Amino acid sequence: MNMKHKAFFLLVTGLAMASFAPCSNGNAETELLSLKNTYKNEFLIGVSVKDSQFMAKNPAETAFVKGQFNSITPENLLKWDAVHPQLGKYRFEESDRFIEFGNKNGMFIIGHTLVWHSQTADWVFKNAQGGDVDRETLLARMRDHIQTVVGRYKGRVRGWDVVNEIMEENGSLRKSPWQKIIGEEYIAKAFQFAHEADPTAELYYNDYRLEVPGKRKGAIALLRKLKAAGVTVTGVGLQGHYDLNWPKPQEVDETIADFGRLGLKVMITELDVDVLPSRPGGAGNADVSRKEAADPKLNPYKTALPEAMQQKLARRYAELFGVYLKHRGTLSRVTFWGLTDGDSWLDNFPIKGRTNYPLLFDRSYHAKPAYFAVIDAVPVAPVNSPSQPQPAVRR
C-alpha cells in the first residue's frame, strides 16, 4: 500500500469504526488523502448531496463530504418544486441548512437549478381557469422565483445553474412550457433576473449529451447569441451522465475545447458512469420496470461488481480525468452526481430497483479502484524540483 492509499485506508477505517471525525482537529483533515487536496491546483471537486449528508443525521457521511470535496450541489432541494411549491409560498428550511453547511465548511456552493421543465409544479404554467398562463404572468412568476431564491442566498451561493436541459438532441430549443409560453427570450430573461439578484454569482447553462455534435452546435449558436446580446453567462455545465463507452475521450476533449473557445468556463456538473446494460426498446410502466430489474441480464451485478468490471470502470475514470486535466484552466469544476453507489439515481433509472456502480465510493463508503484511478491521474511532480508547478498534496 503506498502512502497516499494508506492515508485513505485510515479514512475509511475511521468511518467503519463510527467514531470518525476527520475534521474535528485541524491537523487530521490534512493528513487524509482526498480528491479535493489532490486536485487543489487543477479544479474544484464537487458532489451532489441529499439531506442526510449535511443535516448531521449521519455525521460520518457529513465528515466524508467535507473531507473529500470542496464544492457541493443540492441534488433536489433547491429545485422549483422543493422551494416554491405553491403560488406565493416558499419553503427554505432545508435549503437554508444546506447553504449553512456549505458556507461553514468553506465550500463552493452551486445552486441547482432555477429554470427547468422538470420538477416544476403545474401551477407555474397555469391560470386560475386551468388554461395556459399568459406570457407576462409567466415572466413575472419566473422573475419572482429567481429574485427570491437567488436574492436569499446572495453572496453565499457562488454559481447557479440558471437554465437546465433546454436543448433537444438535434440542437433546437426544447419545447418546454417556458419556451412555448414565453418564447426563446425566457433564456435571456432568466440570466438577466439572476444577474440582477446577485451580480457576483457565476451563471451557467447546464445540459446533458452536449458531446453529441448536433446538440453542441445548437448550444454554441445559442450561447453566441446570448453573449452578443450582452447577457451575463459565465459558463456551461456538461452534466457528464456517461457510460463505459460513451462518449469517447476525444468527444469530451472537443466539447470542452469548443465551449472554452467561447470564453466560457466549462464544468462537469453531474458526473457518473453507468455500468449496467442499457434497456432494450422504449420506456415501460412501473410493472415492466420491476420485471426488468429482476431480469439478471439487465441487472447482472446484484450482489457485487466483478473485479474485471471494477478495473474497467477505473480505466474509464482515468481516461476521463486525463481529458479533464488537459483542460485545467478552462475546466473549473468536476462534480459527481451522488456520494456512494447506493445514493445514485442510476439505481432507479431507466429501470427501477437495479444495483448500479457509477461512482467512486461503494455502498459501504469504501473507495473503489476508480477512486484511486482518479487520484493517480494527477501527475506527481519530482521531489525537490522547485521549478516544477506544485503538485497536488500527497501526504
**341 is a contact residue toward ligand 9MR (CB under 6 A):** no
Total residue length of the chain: 395
232 touching ligand 9MR, by CB under 6 A: no
Q: Which is nearer to ligand 9MR, 322 or 342 (CB)?
A: 342
User: Counting contacts by CB under 6 A, is residue 38 touching ligand 9MR?
Assistant: no
**How is residue 198 written as a grid cell?**
446577485
- Choosing from 42, 165, 202, 292, the catalytic residue is 165
Q: Which of 52, 86, 119, 250 binds ligand 9MR (CB under 6 A)?
A: 119
Per-residue contact flags (x/-) with ligand 9MR for residues 137 to 166, judged by CB under 6 A: ---------------------------x--
**Which residue has 436543448 as its cell numbers?**
167
User: Exactly one of 13, 24, 52, 118 binds ligand 9MR (CB under 6 A); which one?
Assistant: 118
Grid look-up 422543493 returns 82
Any contact of residue 52 with ligand 9MR (CB under 6 A)? no
CB of 346 to ligand 9MR, least distance (A): 8
Q: How far is CA 266 from the centre of its chain?
A: 13
Residue 345 binding ligand 9MR, by CB under 6 A: yes
Nearer to ligand 9MR, 115 or 314 (CB): 115
Q: Where are the beta strands (DSSP E) in the chain?
A: 44-49, 71-74, 108-115, 159-164, 202-207, 235-238, 241-243, 265-274, 331-336
Distance, CA of 323 to CA of 247 (rounded, Å): 12
Comparing CA positions, the residue from 108, 59, 46, 5 lying closest to residue 359 is: 46
A 10 A CB-CB count for 385 gives 9
Q: Residue count at the site for ligand 9MR (CB under 6 A)?
A: 8
Ordered DSSP codes for 185-201: HHHHHHHHHHHHH-TTS
Nearer to ligand 9MR among residue 41 and residue 76 (C-beta): 76
Report CA dihedral (137, 142, 147, 148) to the nearest 10 degrees.
90
Q: Give the separation between CA 374 and CA 360, rounded to whole angstroms.
A: 9
For residue 118, the minimal CB distance to ligand 9MR (Å) is 5
- CA-CA distance, 326 to 260, in Å (whole number)? 12
Residue nearest to ligand 9MR (CB): 345
Nearer to ligand 9MR, 42 or 161 (CB): 161
Helix, strand, coil in percent for the chain, rounding step 5: 40, 15, 40
Q: Which residues pair with 74 in a beta bridge?
A: 49
CA-CA distance, 393 to 31, in Å (whole number)? Answer: 10
Question: Which of 29, 202 has the CB closer to ligand 9MR?
Answer: 202
Is residue 239 within the footprint of ligand 9MR (CB under 6 A)?
A: yes
Nearer to ligand 9MR, 206 or 332 (CB): 206
Q: Is residue 185 annotated as a catalytic residue, yes or no?
A: no
76 binds ligand 9MR (CB under 6 A): yes
Is 165 annotated as catalytic? yes
Question: C-beta of 248: minimal distance to ligand 9MR in Å?
Answer: 21
Nearer to ligand 9MR, 90 or 345 (CB): 345
Pairing of strands 44-49, 71-74: parallel
Binding mask 250-289 for ligand 9MR (x = CB under 6 A): --------------------x-------------------
Residue 203's closest CA among 221, 217, 228, 223? 223
Residues that bind ligand 9MR (CB under 6 A): 75-76, 118-119, 164, 239, 270, 345
Give the residue numbers marked as catalytic.
165, 270
